[in-house]
Amino acid sequence: MVRIKERYVLVNILYPPDDSQSQAPNVPDFVFMHQPTTGSLTPQSLLKAIRSEVAALFGDYGSGAIEGNLQVKYLSPATSTFILKVKRAHYRLVWAALTFMKCVPLKAGEGKPCTFKVVRVSGTIRKAEEEAVRQARQLVLAAKDSATAATSGSLPMFTEPKAQVEDIIMFDASDVSDEDGKGEEDG
């Protein structure tokens, strides 16, 4: 008996800043890019958009290859993250289709412009879930750090302990060498 091998593709939906939209001055770019997805995004509309993109890129071969084995295992509009399950032999077709998708597929009409970023391809759903949790934690910590730096009004380097800053300066000073490429002991 042969096991059917599958891949779990963890994908983030990123919203690049648009010049026409006014962004709040105190919101960092990474927070703006990782904003929540609209609630009208459903697994069915996502699958339909991926299948149509695969058909446009790879024709009948691509459509037939992913027809029975593409599933959305996890979809979180709050974190703009989803996990797809696809056969191992065809996960690259899905990855290519996600790369070429330009907007969030919605039930009613055109969606918001976005970029789909494949974060991890895994053999088990457990590892894909762990990576999703790890990234969500990192995003929250980065947002907190950015908020504290903005409220304190100072740069993070100036809030570090003095000994740590001196170590950094000493390390940088020891890296400097002569212009001719010879050290002091080379003569």
Question: The CATH number of the domain where 133 resides is what?
Answer: 3.30.70.3250
pLDDT at site 167: 52
Indicate whether 166 belongs to any domain: no
pLDDT at site 31: 67
C-alpha 41/C-alpha 31 separation (Å) is: 20
No. of H helices and E strands in the chain? 6, 4
C-alpha of 15 from chain center: 10
Indicate whether 168 belongs to any domain: no
pLDDT at site 19: 64
pLDDT at site 152: 62
Indicate whether 170 belongs to any domain: no
Q: Kindly report, residue by residue over 22-81, the tens digit of the pLDDT.
A: 555 566 666 667 778 877 888 998 999 999 999 999 999 999 999 888 999 999 888 889
Indicate whether 64 belongs to any domain: yes
pLDDT more than 90, % of the chain: 41
Indicate whether 159 belongs to any domain: no
pLDDT at residue 125 is higher than 60: yes
pLDDT at site 113: 85
Indicate whether 187 belongs to any domain: no
How many domains are there within the chain?
A: 1
pLDDT at site 109: 65
Contacts (Cβ under 8 Å, ≥6 apart) of 120: 9, 10, 127, 128, 131
pLDDT at site 174: 44
For 62, the domain range is 6-152
pLDDT at site 185: 52
pLDDT at site 21: 60
User: Per-residue confidence at 172, pLDDT binned at 50, 70, 90?
Assistant: very low
pLDDT at residue 156 is higher than 70: no
C-alpha 187/C-alpha 181 separation (Å) is: 11
Indicate whether 160 belongs to any domain: no
Q: Kindly report, residue by residue over 5-28, the tens digit of the pLDDT.
A: 999 999 999 988 776 665 555 666
Indicate whether 184 belongs to any domain: no
pLDDT at site 173: 45
Please compute the mean of the pLDDT values over residues 143-148 and round it to a whole number.
76
Q: Which of 84, 79, 75, 69 is nearest to 118 (CA)?
A: 84
Structure tokens at 117: 């970023």
Mean residue pLDDT across the chain: 79
pLDDT at site 129: 93
